Structures are given as C-alpha cells and as structure tokens.
C-alpha cells in the first residue's frame, strides 16, 4: 500500500543520518515511493526499492540539470553543499542531461582512461606505505584522519597534475567547498579555486603534459573540446566525487570488518576474498548517504505511483542495496555474497566514471593495512562513532582504533 501522507522532516533529521537503514527498511515495506519533507523544507519523493530505483536511474524522463530550477535551489538546502551551486563549478557532466552529458562524458573518457588509472598503481602503493609509516609507533590512531582521508585526495590531486607545493592550499579550499562554512569563506574558496585552476589550464595549454588535467585540456572529439568553464567544473567534480566517497569506502569497510570479527579473520586468512569484500562494503554501507537526486521533466510513473512534472526525486541507493528482494538477509555483512548489480556506483548514463580507480585505491589500502597490522581493534563504543551530517555523503567523522 502506498501511503501518500507526507513523511515529516524529523524522520530525516540527525537520527536518520546516524542510522538511515531502519527508516529505509520501513519505507520499502510500507511506502516505497513516498513524498517527504527534508529538514530545510525541501519537498521530494523518495524511492527505496531496488527495482524502482534501478528503473528510475535508466528512465530518460528523470533529469539531472538543476539549472532549470534556480529558484528552488536559491530557496533550499544546498547551502550545505556549496560546490553544488557555485556557478563556476557546476558546469560538469553529473549536472547535465543528454545531449550535453554525452558530449562531456565522451571528452572526459578520452582522458580518464583505464591505462591512466592503472599507471597510478605504483604511486598509490607508495602513498599508502608512507601514510602507514607515519602511524608507526602509535598505539591509537584515527584511521579517517591518518589514512582514509589523505589517501584519495593525494591520489586525485597528483593525477590531475597539481604541483606538490600547491597541494596544501588547494586542499584547504576544497575542504571548505565540500564541507561548507561561512558564506564569505565559501565564496573566497570558490573564487580562489577557480582562479587557481584557470591559471593551471593556461600552463597546461602552453606545453603538452602527460597528466590527466593536460589530457583534459587537449581532449578533442570531432573538432570539439572542453571550454574553460567546463574544464574548471570537471576538475572540481573529479576532486569532489573522487575524494569524499573513497574516504568513506575505506573507513566504513574497516568498521564493517571490526564489527564482524569472524569475517575479518577469514579475510586475513584468504586475501583472495578482498575484491568481493570491497563490493560487499559498497553494498552494505555505501558512500552515498540519502540518495542521488533527479527531477521529473514530465509526469512520470515510478513503482505504480505517478509523480507530477518538476518534482525532486531521491533515488535511495543505500536503501536499494539493502532491499531483501534483491539481496537475501541484506543487513548481514557477507564477504562471499553475490553482490552483482549493487548500485553504490549508480546505474545508467551517469554510472560512476571513477569506479575502477576507487576499487584500486580500496584494494591497495586494505591490502597494505592488513599486511602492516596484525591487530586492529575499535577504540570507540557504537555511540561514540558519529557519521557526518551531510545529505549526500555517508562518512564517519572519525574511526579511532588501537593498532599493533
């Protein structure tokens, strides 16, 4: 039965962000396509069943280009997600629909190739080793701060070809843009990021460079190439998409293992389980928190419910990945489970471009972590662990562990 009374904002408040799974489980059973009000007053439809989310992600009537809804965004919540709305940073393919999306994705795919990702492997191993070396002698560390956070940001900044001496300044602007702050600070960080990237583009245009940014600057398809705004936005997308999500995968994966010691022991005993384990971490506690957003371009039927035109739709990947119809005993972590079809990386035309890089980073991170420490133990109670309060990314604030 579909309940069409609106679910109030409280259900999506701080408690929901700490534990989205119980709300989602109830919605899947009782109201799988449900109108809701989110905390800052944004009204949306939330879709929670696997089949419905998958069909919606493949439905061309559901759109991404939020620039058609400027008033909605000005009024609403996205102040939490400043990078989402700054005009200099949003002209990227995750915010576009065909044909613009097709054009941008083709150009970017030319630069972000499997070969380029694979070529990063030795460097990722090195960065990982350095981070673990820095923990040597410590008994207690925060694995988010010491390991999960610095690894992906260093990798993506190096892939982009940012000079090492610029990394710290750039990382601090990115942090403000991703995590939010005072409006003045955010504006300053956005202006500084844009100015910095434009300068870098000018340099990369002058000389043929081998890095990803250089390849993006020079990428051509049928005489077409990325404009400066598109380049700046694209690099910003790579930084945001390639950074927070992977932090979350590494940290949540370690936590899942710590909470399931028998499976942790099995993984230690048989490292060939690791690739499957990473897929299970993605299914079980995926980095996208609430959902990915779409807009209805026209009245659209989802799961037997007709949604009018011009509505927000939240496709709850986290929920779909725990749908009992698709994954038996979904709330159990099972490293040997068949996770085929999980949607932590999305589905359809916007399917994550960085999935192979994320998988490689996670594999290297877990392999080195297990090689280095025979003993890893949680140094916090369940109540002591907090998930960050962003609507988009589900990520631990900290993961205190004892190591040895």
How far is 103 from 74, CA to CA, in rounded Å? 28
How far is 41 from 59, CA to CA, in rounded Å? 27
Q: How many CA atoms lie within 13 A of 247 on its CB side?
A: 26
Chain residues 86-145 in contact with ligand HEM, contact rule CB under 6 A: 93-94, 105
Q: Is 156 in the site for ligand HEM (CB under 6 A)?
A: yes
Choose which of 38, 85, 288, 320 interacts with ligand HEM (CB under 6 A).
288
Q: How many CA atoms lie within 13 A of 42 on its CB side?
A: 26
Range in contact with ligand HEM (rule: CB under 6 A) among 46-54, 255-263, 306-314, 349-357: 349-357
Choose which of 242, 256, 257, 378 interacts with ligand HEM (CB under 6 A).
242
C-alpha distances in Å from residue 309, one per residue of 101, 239, 293: 21, 32, 15
Task: Let me know: does 63 contact 297? Beta carbons within 8 Å.
Answer: yes
Choose which of 107, 219, 254, 353 interacts with ligand HEM (CB under 6 A).
353
Range in contact with ligand HEM (rule: CB under 6 A) among 28-36, 217-225, 241-249, 330-338: 241-249
Residue nearest to ligand HEM (CB): 354
Which residues is 403 bridged to in the sheet?
376
How far is 269 from 262, CA to CA, in rounded Å? 11
Q: Is 219 in the site for ligand HEM (CB under 6 A)?
A: no
Count of positions on this chain that bind ligand HEM (CB under 6 A)? 25
Of 128 and 292, which CB lies nearer to ligand HEM in the complex structure?
292
Site string for ligand HEM, 304-323 (x = CB under 6 A): -------------x------
State the alpha helices, DSSP H only, in 180-260: 183-206, 212-218, 228-241, 244-258
CA 341 to mean position of chain CA atoms: 18
Range in contact with ligand HEM (rule: CB under 6 A) among 136-144, 245-253, 328-336, 364-372: 245-253
Task: Let me know: does 361 contact 253? Beta carbons within 8 Å.
Answer: no
CB of 91 to ligand HEM, least distance (A): 12
| Region class of 341: left (phi > 0), else alpha (psi between -120 and 50), else beta | left
Choose which of 24, 345, 366, 387 interacts with ligand HEM (CB under 6 A).
345
Task: Let me know: does 299 contact 404? Beta carbons within 8 Å.
Answer: no
CB of 370 to ligand HEM, least distance (A): 19
How far is 373 from 358, CA to CA, in rounded Å? 22
Task: Let me know: does 368 contact 125? Beta carbons within 8 Å.
Answer: yes
Q: Is 357 in the site for ligand HEM (CB under 6 A)?
A: yes
CB of 201 to ligand HEM, least distance (A): 18
Range in contact with ligand HEM (rule: CB under 6 A) among 76-84, 125-133, 191-199, 354-362: 354-362
CB of 72 to ligand HEM, least distance (A): 17
Q: Is 394 in the site for ligand HEM (CB under 6 A)?
A: no
Q: How many CA atoms lie within 13 A of 339 on its CB side?
A: 25
Q: Is 39 in the site for ligand HEM (CB under 6 A)?
A: no
Longest dimension (CA), the chain: 62
Choose which of 20, 83, 287, 330 interacts with ligand HEM (CB under 6 A).
287
Range in contact with ligand HEM (rule: CB under 6 A) among 12-20, 71-79, 193-201, 339-347: 339-347
* Closest listed residue to residue 284, CA positions, set 249, 241, 245: 249
b/e map 316-343, b = 16+ CB within 10 Å: bbbbbbbbeebbeebeebbbebebeebb
Q: Is 238 in the site for ligand HEM (CB under 6 A)?
A: yes
Range in contact with ligand HEM (rule: CB under 6 A) among 18-26, 123-131, 341-349, 378-386: 341-349
Burial of 302 (0-12, 13-18, 19+ CB in 10 A): buried
Q: Is 350 in the site for ligand HEM (CB under 6 A)?
A: yes
Of 39 and 152, which CB lies nearer to ligand HEM in the complex structure?
152
DSSP string across 61-125: TEE--GGG-HHHHHHSGGGG-HHHH-TTT--SGGG--TTHHHHHHHHHHHHS-HHHHHHTHHHHH
Choose which of 167, 258, 273, 352 interacts with ligand HEM (CB under 6 A).
352
Choose which of 176, 193, 246, 339 interacts with ligand HEM (CB under 6 A).
246
Site residues (vs ligand HEM, CB under 6 A): 93-94, 105, 156, 237-238, 241-242, 245-246, 249, 286-288, 292, 317, 344-346, 350, 352-354, 357-358
């Amino acid at each position: 039965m579909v309940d069409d009374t609106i679910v109030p904002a409280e259900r999506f408040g701080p408690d929901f962000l700490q534990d989205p799974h119980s709300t989602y489980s109830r919605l899947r059973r009782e109201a799988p396509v449900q109108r809701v009000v989110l905390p800052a007053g944004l009204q949306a439809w939330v879709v929670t069943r696997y089949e419905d989310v998958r069909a919606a992600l493949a439905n061309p009537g559901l759109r991404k280009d939020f620039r058609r809804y400027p008033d909605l965004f000005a009024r609403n919540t996205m102040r939490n997600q400043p990078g989402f709305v700054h005009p200099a940073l949003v002209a990227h393919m995750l915010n576009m629909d065909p044909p613009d999306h097709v054009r941008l994705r083709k150009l970017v795919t030319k630069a972000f190739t499997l070969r380029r990702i694979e070529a990063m492997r030795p460097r990722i191993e090195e960065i990982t080793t350095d981070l673990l070396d820095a923990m040597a002698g410590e008994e207690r560390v925060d694995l988010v701060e010491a390991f999960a956070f610095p690894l992906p940001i260093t990798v993506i900044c190096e892939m982009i070809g940012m000079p090492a001496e610029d990394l710290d300044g750039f990382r601090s602007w990115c942090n403000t843009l991703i995590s939010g702050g005072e409006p003045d600070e955010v504006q300053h960080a956005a202006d500084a990021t844009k100015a910095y990237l434009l300068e870098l583009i000018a340099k990369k245009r002058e000389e043929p460079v081998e890095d990803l940014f250089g390849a993006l600057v020079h990428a051509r398809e049928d005489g077409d190439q990325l404009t400066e705004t598109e380049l700046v936005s694209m690099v910003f997308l790579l930084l945001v998409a390639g950074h927070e999500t992977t932090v979350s995968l590494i940290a949540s994966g370690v936590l899942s293992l710590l909470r399931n010691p028998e499976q942790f022991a099995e993984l230690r005993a048989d490292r060939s389980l690791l690739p499957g384990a990473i897929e299970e971490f993605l299914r079980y506690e995926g980095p996208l928190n609430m959902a990915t957003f779409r807009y209805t371009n026209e009245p659209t039927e989802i799961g037997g419910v007709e949604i009018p035109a011009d509505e927000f739709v939240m496709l709850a990947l986290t929920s779909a990945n725990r749908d009992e119809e698709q994954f038996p005993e979904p709330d159990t972590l099972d490293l040997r489970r068949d996770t085929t079809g999980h949607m932590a990386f999305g589905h359809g035309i916007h399917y994550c471009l960085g999935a192979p890089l994320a998988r490689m980073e996670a594999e290297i991170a877990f392999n080195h972590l297990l090689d280095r420490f025979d003993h890893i133990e949680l140094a916090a109670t369940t109540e002591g662990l907090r998930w960050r309060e962003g609507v988009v990314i589900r990520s631990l604030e900290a993961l205190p562990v004892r190591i040895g």
